[in-house]
Structure 1
Amino acid sequence: MMTASARTVILYFLIMLGLRLMGKRQIGELEPSELVLTMMISDLATVPMQDFGIPLLAGVIPILTLLALSMLLSQLSLYNLRFRELVCGKPAVLIRNGQLQQETMRKNRYTLDELLEELRTQGFSGIADVKYAVLENSGQLSVLPWTRQQPPTAAQMGLDLEDDVTLPVILINDGRVLHKNLKICGKDDTWLRKTLKREGLSSPQDAFLLTLDEQGQVFCVKKESAP
């Protein structure tokens, strides 16, 4: 039992390390080479977890080999455009200037029903509303509408608006003080205690969330008592 648990834990962290090396992508955003790598790693990991007669290294070594190969291919893709196109492919324009590119759709085996469904999910009722639609390497469809179909911006309307978009920094997460973020904001524990007191809280454990934005605005959510 202990052997099974230990093998499972080792393989779990090894796979997690591999996924971290692949970057922050969702499954639907993986390129073909990354998707193949993910599937092969999962298959290799299940074999030594289920069959104790197989040495653990029989699963670990192939996984490490695949990860090393993936890193090598990534580095080659950075320096060689042709190799990148070969491994990752290139985006395909399915709609150009409002016209369907039927030959491109056939090459990518992308049906009309799939195209219309994707357009509807992005808020477009028909092809006439779209100037460009690009099928990305990840399989996602990027849709660029005509200018007349885009909502007007403040610049187009001649409005001189103050840019008030800020990025809040989390200082307390579920009662835990993030001292690193507190230091980044140029604040200390004394400022934090005063802020909590103004919010009616006696300690950081009473706060579920506390953020500070670039304009000095504090947002606080009190922690609810457990039922």
Structure 2
Amino acid sequence: MLIVVVRTLILYVVVIIALRLMGKREIGQLQPFELVVILMISELAAVPSENVGVPLLSGIIPILVLLSASMTFAYVSLKSERARDIICGKPSILIDRGKISEKELKRNCYNISDLLEELRLNNIPNIADVEFAILENNGQISVFPKAHKRPTIPEDFQITPPYEGLPLTIIMDGKLKKNYLEQSKKDIHWLNTQLNTQGIQRIEDVLIASLDSSGNLYVQAKENKKPTKVKNSVR
């Protein structure tokens, strides 16, 4: 039993390393060859972990071979546009200038019901509002509504909104992130003052404290205390 546990853990670590080396994309964003590699890796890892009679290397070596092949394909497709088209395919325009392409639907085995469903998922219930719909290589659809149907943006009104940077999580689960506190150009005295205004005496009692680029500190204490947003007057 102990041997099975050890073998399983070793294969688990190997598979995790292999997937990490392949990148951080979600399953729905994988290219076809990457999805095939993942499916084969999971199958190869299952055999040695279930059958003690199968040498451990019989599972690890094929996984490493598949990983090498995947990384080679990824590198080749990165360097060569022609190879990328062969390995990954090309996007297909399902709706071109407001008109559905029946030829592309048939070529991709895509029916009208699937197309309408994807449009609804993109918050476009009316197909008449679509200018372009492109079926990407990963199976997702990019939808471009007609100009008079797209949401307005500040640029349409010649408005330049203020810059919004990423918020800094200064405290997480009762632990102070000193590097983020320094990056925000604040000190521990300022932080304690802000927490005291919320009736919080210790950093350990904070579930999360996040500071945005406008100087607003969001604090949520532990023990089901209500989160509070504090306006920072010291910049």
Asked if Structure 1 and Structure 2 have the same fold, meaning a TM-score greater than 0.5 normalized by the shorter chain, the answer is yes
Deviation at 1:155, TM superposition (A): 2.3
Cα offsets for 1:11-41 (capped at 9, x unmatched): 1122122222222222122110111011001
- Alpha-carbon distance change, 15 to 187 in structure 1, aligned in 2, over 3 angstroms: farther
Shift of the alpha carbon at 1:148? 1.1
Equivalent in the alignment of 1:198: 197
Instruction: Quote the residue 1:46 is aligned against.
Output: 46
Structure 1 residue ranges (4+ consecutive) displaced by more than 6 angstroms after TM superposition = none
Q: Does 1:9 align with 2:22?
A: no
Letter aligned with residue 26 of structure 1 = E
Gaps of 5+ in 2: 225-235
SS at match of 1:218: strand
Counterpart contact for 2:154–2:161, Cα < 8 Å: no
Q: Which residue of 2 aligns with 1:153?
A: 153
Aligned to 1:60, what secondary structure does the other structure show? helix
Q: Which of 116-125 and 142-151 deviates more?
A: 116-125
1:28 and 2:28 are equivalent in the alignment: yes
SS of equivalent to 2:155: coil
- Pair 1:76-2:76 in alignment: yes
TM-score, normalization by structure 1: 0.91
> CA-atom RMSD, angstroms?
1.9
Determine the C-alpha separation between the residues in 1 that align with 2:186 and 2:13.
36
Give the aligned residue type for 1:139.
Answer: G
1:206 to partner: Cα distance:
0.3
1:94-132 CA distance string (max 9 Å, x none)? 000001111111111111111011112222223211000
Return the alpha-carbon distance in structure 1 between the equivalents of residues 57 and 199 of structure 2.
Answer: 56
Q: CA deviation at 1:218?
A: 1.1
Normalised to the residue count of structure 2, the TM-score between the two structures is 0.88
Letter in 1 for 2:194: T
For the Cα contact (< 8 Å) 2:176–2:203, is it kept in 1? yes
1:57 maps to amino acid: L
Q: Distance in 1 between matches of 2:170 and 2:11?
A: 34
**What's the offset of the Cα at 1:204?**
1.8
SS at match of 1:208: strand
Q: Which amino acid aligns with 1:220?
A: V
User: How many residues matched?
Assistant: 225
Residue type at the aligned position of 2:71: M
**Cα distance change, pair 13–189 in 1 and its aligned pair in 2 (3 A):** farther
More deviation, 161-170/137-146:
161-170
SS in 2 for 1:163: coil
1:175-194 correspondence runs (5 A)? 175-194=174-193
